[in-house]
Chains A and B, each alone.
Chain A
Amino acid sequence: MLQRGIWQVVRVLSCLALIVGAVGCGAKSEQEVRLGVNAELTGSKPTVGDSCKKAMELLAEQINQQGGLKVGERQIPLKLFIEDNEDKAESAAAAAQKLISQNNVLAVIGPNASGNAIPAARICEDSGVIMISPWSTNPKTTEGKKYIFRACFIDDFQGQVMAKFARQHLKADTAAVLYDVASEYNKGIAEFFKQFFEADGGKVVAFASYTTGDKDFSSQLTTIKAAAPQVLFLPNYYNEVPLQVKQARNQGLSCAIIGSDSWGSQELLTLGGADLEGSFFSTHYAPDIATPKAQEFIKAYEAKYGKKPDDVAALTYDAGLLLCNAITQAGSLDRTKVRDTLAQVREFEGVTGKMTFKGGGDPVKSAVILQVQNGQFKYFASVQP
């Protein structure tokens, strides 16, 4: 009987010790700047998560090599906590909650896809933790929230840019759109493009869609070919666009092809080859006329990973830089202070261009239009918001 009692006491004590230990671990946050990364490492967009993770690891490595991040008088090293959100809404929310509750992070970078970013943003907002999504273009991610930021422009801006470009530069009167109806990003841009193109006096003669995962677009492309558009807009991901362009050309569709920032990966060129020659797309920055800051990033990224960064990597890097910058400026690891600094950032020069926040979570930044020339992305024009 006595023995049993002793065991009971031991058990209770060890539980207590565990709890105290856990709490103690959480309290050590002054020794390091804890940042969470909530990325799509598995699921349907593994490249996005991979680039996001790589860019953040590069940034952390660079900062820690210099002794850490300057906060007030001290240099504090960065520590990353990387979580996979499987490209699922509930997993993104769980990952965000875990980063906040278990790892006690100061801020979270990611998720990237809006479907994951929106529920994760809700959780970060409720806990008062800063979240910067590098890539979520859905206006609702940041809408009405105080602690949520993004590093990219939103869909309607890009749809407008490309509609204007098609009307004014390509002198197109008729356009066709092929987009992924099951993906919020693609559908958003496609609809804004249609709206602005028609408001500008043009006519969208074919508005065809497919579903994520489709590899055969011949049916839709035949319909598009029959409508004989002067320009074809493909606001789709770079792993799908090469197939679409190839199939379009095989069907004898010879009109100009334009796209959106989701084209912005070197992979597009390796996968698409000659079929893409002469096509235009809007994106965040031009690698060939990049600023010294961007050049430096591209070089470092290539040295570390053996490939050129895509748009997600560049935007993630910018999201991280923005955050680190705000922490240094605020001179404190207090979330509210860092948040307030972040919301007032002016003319911040990142890899993807200049960003200004006007109190809210969406940056004002310009877009560039690139053309594929001789198998390379070439700067064509810049568009101010």
Chain B
Amino acid sequence: MKKSNQASERGRLGGWYWTLGSLALLALAWLLPASGIMNLYLQQVLMYVGINIILTLSLNLVNGYMGEFSVGHAGFMAVGAYVAAILTVAVFPRAWGPVVFPLALIMGGLAAALAGLVVAFPSFRTRGDYLAIVTLAFNMIVKSILENINAVGGPRGYMGMSKLSNLVWVVFWVLVTLLVLRNVIYSNLGRGIIAIREDELAANLVSVNTPRLKIYAFCLSAFFAGVAGGLYAHLLQFINPRSFSILKSTDMLVMVYLGGIGSLAGSILGASLYTILMELLRPLELWRWVVGPLLLVLLMIFRPTGIMGLKEVRWLQPTASEETGWGKVARRS
């Protein structure tokens, strides 16, 4: 009896922390640039960090929680970026920009989610490295098609977007991604997704509808990758197919596994650490890309599961009131 009381109290508090924390973060994201304390470079880097966090979280759903090996996530990002950019530039009047921006991002995300189906269907029969090739092929196809569409500039890229992305929007979307993924992962849906990772056959046996869950996971993951793409497009105000090559996908992979699979906090850490470290190493010029990979290799050797592999910080776990018996499964290490 006493235990359940404590638990519900923790649950309420948890909820409050979330709301207050989010509001405080958003307020900071608005105040720091507006007051001039934070210079433009710092803002830029922080926005990259935010976009990378969204990408890493979304990839972690497929690679970490579902245990697939997607190496073509930049393809989803590209779809989202192009759709959102075309919407704000060519479809809606320019003056409406700030108002339709969230809508454009969501549409970009939805288009990416649709593209997610392309990868989800082969994943019913194909697994592991074969699915990796499917995602890789998807990435290459998207890039190749974009290079061939002259209406969006082909290899010359697409521009004309206003700078609609700012720190507040980026932080907002990071929070949305985090909240949605956290709720999905600790729901029945998430249990099923994790079950696919642990043992697909057994999951089927206990009536987990694996094809349906794969569709959900790929589409959700692609959605957020697409949103990140939209943010990226409206931050740089320029996109070209080359920015969404396989190299971008491998960047994301590194961030996911650096932070640790199956961990939201890990994704946040991985993306932040990677982005900030590469910025800090800038003075090394050419040697930056020698030292960076070396650090990555050393880190993987000393912490093979990444920084937070399969572990989660307390505040990202379901609060006690939401806790079901299933919670233990996700936290096992």
Contact = CB atoms under 8 A, between A and B. Distances in A.
Query: Do chains A and B make direct contact within the complex (CB under 8 angstroms)?
Result: yes
Interface of A: 41-42, 82-84, 86, 88-90, 93-95, 97-98, 100-102, 114-115, 118-119, 122, 126-127, 138, 140, 181-184, 187-188, 211-212
Among A41, A90, A102, A126, chain B packs the most CB atoms within 10 A around the CB of: A90
A42 B155 contact: no
A94 B286 contact: no
Contacts of B232: 90
A94 B48 CA distance: 9
B282 to A, nearest CB: 6
A126 B285 CA distance: 26
Interface string B127-166: 0000000000000000110011000001111010001000
Interface string B18-42: 0000000000000000000001111
In this complex, the member of B40, B156, B232 whose beta carbon has the largest number of chain A beta carbons within 10 angstroms is B156
Given A86-B289, A94-B41, A127-B40, A187 B238 contact: no
Contact of A97 (B40, B156, B241): B40
B156 A84 contact: no
15 contacts: A41-B285, A42-B288, A84-B285, A84-B286, A89-B239, A89-B240, A90-B236, A94-B279, A98-B279, A101-B40, A126-B163, A127-B40, A181-B148, A184-B155, A187-B156
Interface of B: 39-42, 44-45, 48, 143-144, 147-148, 154-157, 159, 163, 232, 236-243, 247, 279, 282, 285-286, 288-289
A126 B237 CA distance: 12
- Dominant secondary structure of chain A at its interface with chain B: helix
Given A118-B157, A122-B237, A188-B156, 14 more contacts: A42-B286, A83-B285, A84-B288, A89-B236, A90-B243, A94-B41, A95-B282, A97-B40, A98-B41, A115-B243, A138-B156, A182-B143, A182-B242, A183-B155
Contacts of B279: 94, 98
A212 B246 CA distance: 13
A187 B159 contact: no
A140 B156 CA distance: 9
B285 A115 contact: no
Nearest to A83: B282
Contacts of A187: 154-156
B237 A184 contact: no
A184 B285 contact: no
B285 A82 contact: yes
Nearest to B251: A88
Given A84-B288, A97-B40, A118-B238, A184 B157 contact: yes
What 10 A-B pairs come out closest when comparing CB atoms? A101-B41, A184-B156, A101-B39, A119-B236, A119-B238, A184-B155, A97-B41, A97-B44, A118-B238, A98-B41
Nearest to B289: A42
Contacts of B239: 89
Contacts of B143: 182
A101 B42 contact: yes
A22 to B, nearest CB: 9
A86 B143 CA distance: 19
B155 A93 contact: no
A236 B119 CA distance: 34
B241 A89 contact: no
A41 B286 CA distance: 6
By DSSP majority rule, is chain B's interface helix, strand, loop, or mixed?
Answer: helix
Contact of B44 (A89, A93, A181, A182): A93
Given A90-B243, A122-B237, A184-B157, A102 B285 contact: no
Contacts of B159: 118, 140
A312 to B, nearest CB: 16
Contact of B157 (A88, A90, A115): A115
Contacts of B40: 97, 100-101, 127
B103 to A, nearest CB: 23
Contacts of B41: 94, 97-98, 100-102
B135 to A, nearest CB: 19
Contacts of B236: 89-90, 93, 119, 122
A153 B144 CA distance: 28
B243 A89 contact: yes
A127 B163 CA distance: 13
Contact of B282 (A98, A138, A140, A211): A98
A50 to B, nearest CB: 9
A84 B283 CA distance: 9
Most buried by B among A100, A138, A182, A183: A182
Given A86-B289, A94-B48, A97-B41, A182 B155 contact: yes
A219 B289 CA distance: 35
A89 B232 CA distance: 11
Contacts of B147: 181-182
Contacts of A184: 154-157, 240
A211 B279 CA distance: 30
Contacts of B240: 89, 115, 184
Contacts of A83: 282, 285
B39 A88 contact: no
A80 B332 CA distance: 53
A29 to B, nearest CB: 15
Nearest to B154: A187
Contact of B242 (A41, A115, A138, A140): A115
A94 B238 contact: no
A240 to B, nearest CB: 15
Contacts of A94: 41, 44-45, 48, 279
B94 to A, nearest CB: 14
A183 B288 CA distance: 26
B80 to A, nearest CB: 15
Nearest to A139: B156
Contacts of B285: 41, 82-84
A103 B82 CA distance: 33
Contacts of A93: 44, 236
A124 to B, nearest CB: 11
Given A97-B41, A102-B41, A182-B147, A90 B154 contact: no
A188 B232 CA distance: 25
A128 B240 CA distance: 25
